[in-house]
């Protein structure tokens, strides 16, 4: 379904608001757009929005299932601005956001849909879920110079760490139940990544409400949304398995020719299965039975 703009989509959907959860996917380029859309449709999102320039094409079978929205994907904070428009338009709706060549995984996603996930999370009185962005990369950059290869994708099995998130408004004391997470390609090739973009945590699953604002660092104006767990026990977390950093490092002039391979002694093939991510400690099943 084609919409001229996000504002037009919002006007047309206001009369019959989407049931949700809604997946908001921004295509920065044409890489793996179809597989990204298929993955999230199969995950159980009944409403999928594709923010993309007009030149990006889709498989014919996907067109009826996706709301295509013309969007300036190269504007500053293009995805953030779109998400904030949708938050304002649809309070009470669960939402997820990501870029193309990114794939949401949650515990037991092979047998439980995203709607099952969010129903359980809501029962625990949680309105947001922390996700870790786990870098994927092609095993052979000579054969796949764009760094994307789904059939032989690799990830780092170690090298992840967390630091206390300090509060500049409270004498730089640590914020309660909040951490900054690091690792993956942004850590190994940090000399090519601005320090403001090195974190790998994102609050990318959340329930919209009036006055809520998504900030450019992928945290929210409501600090409780940014916590990794409730005060009583660990909560579910999820992972966004992403080729985005690998793509950027192999397309930016400053790093393109300096990086010959992303593989190192802690690389391991990605199995496209939630159990591997839980075994590696890259997401948390919490109290989910």
If one compares 173 and 187, the residue with the highest pLDDT of the two is 187
- Residue 289: predicted pLDDT: 54
**If we measure between CA atoms, which residue out of 64, 44, 249, 26 comes closest to residue 146?**
249
**If we measure between CA atoms, which residue out of 17, 67, 76 comes closest to residue 41?**
67
In the chain, which residues fall in CATH 3.40.50?
1-100
Question: What's phi and psi for 27, nearest 5 deg?
Answer: -95, 105
Q: Are 24 and 52 in contact (CB under 8 A)?
A: no
If you average pLDDT over residues 152-170, what whole number do you get? 89
Give tens-digit pLDDT for 258-285: 899 999 999 999 999 999 999 999 998 9
For residues 38, 276, 246, 149, the Cα torsion angle rounded to the nearest 10 degrees is -60
Q: Does a cis peptide bond (omega within 30 degrees of 0) precede residue 21?
A: yes
Both tokens of 247, joined, read 């793509």
If one compares 286 and 98, the residue with the highest pLDDT of the two is 98
Both tokens of 239, joined, read 């992972």
Give the predicted TM-score (pTM) of the model.
0.94
The continuous run of DSSP H or E covering 23 comes out as strand 22-26
The fold of 1-100 is Rossmann fold (3.40.50)
Q: Classify each residue of 117-127 as buried b or exposed e, where b means 16 or more C-beta atoms within 10 Å of its C-beta.
A: bbebbeeeebb
Q: Answer yes or no: is pLDDT of 27 > 60.
A: yes
Least confident of 16-30, 130-144, 155-169, 211-225: 155-169
Residues counted in the chain: 289
Give tens-digit pLDDT for 139-149: 999 999 999 99
- Residue 1: predicted pLDDT: 53
Give tens-digit pLDDT for 69-96: 999 999 999 999 999 999 999 999 999 9
If you average pLDDT over residues 233-242, what whole number do you get? 91
Q: Answer yes or no: is pLDDT of 254 > 90.
A: no
Q: What is the sign of the dihedral through the CA atoms of 182, 184, 187 and 193?
A: negative
Q: How far apart are CA 3 and CA 8, in angstroms?
A: 6
């Amino acid at each position: 379904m084609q919409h001229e703009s996000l504002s037009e989509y919002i006007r047309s959907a206001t009369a019959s608001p989407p049931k949700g959860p809604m997946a908001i996917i921004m295509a920065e380029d044409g890489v793996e757009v179809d597989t990204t859309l298929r993955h999230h449709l199969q995950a159980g999102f009944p409403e999928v929005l594709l923010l993309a320039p007009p030149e990006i094409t889709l498989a014919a079978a996907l067109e009826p299932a996706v709301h295509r929205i013309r969007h300036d994907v190269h504007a500053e904070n293009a995805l953030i601005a779109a998400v904030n428009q949708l938050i304002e338009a649809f309070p009470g709706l669960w939402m997820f956001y990501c870029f193309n060549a990114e794939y949401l995984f949650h515990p037991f996603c092979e047998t439980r849909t995203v709607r099952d996930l969010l129903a359980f999370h809501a029962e625990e009185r949680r309105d947001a879920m922390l996700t870790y962005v786990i870098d994927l990369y092609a095993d052979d950059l000579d054969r796949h110079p764009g760094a994307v290869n789904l059939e032989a994708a690799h990830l780092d099995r170690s090298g992840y760490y967390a630091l206390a998130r300090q509060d500049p408004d409270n004498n730089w004391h640590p914020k309660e139940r909040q951490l900054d997470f690091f690792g993956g390609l942004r850590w190994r090739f940090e000399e090519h990544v601005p320090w403001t973009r090195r974190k790998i945590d994102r609050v990318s699953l959340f329930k919209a409400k009036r006055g809520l604002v998504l900030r450019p660092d992928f945290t929210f104006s409501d600090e409780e949304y940014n916590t990794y767990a409730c005060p009583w026990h660990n909560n579910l977390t999820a992972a966004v398995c992403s080729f985005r950093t690998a793509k950027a490092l192999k397309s930016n002039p400053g790093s393109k020719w300096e990086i010959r391979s992303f593989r190192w002694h802690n690389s391991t093939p990605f199995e496209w299965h939630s159990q591997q991510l839980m075994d590696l400690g890259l997401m948390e099943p919490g109290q989910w039975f």
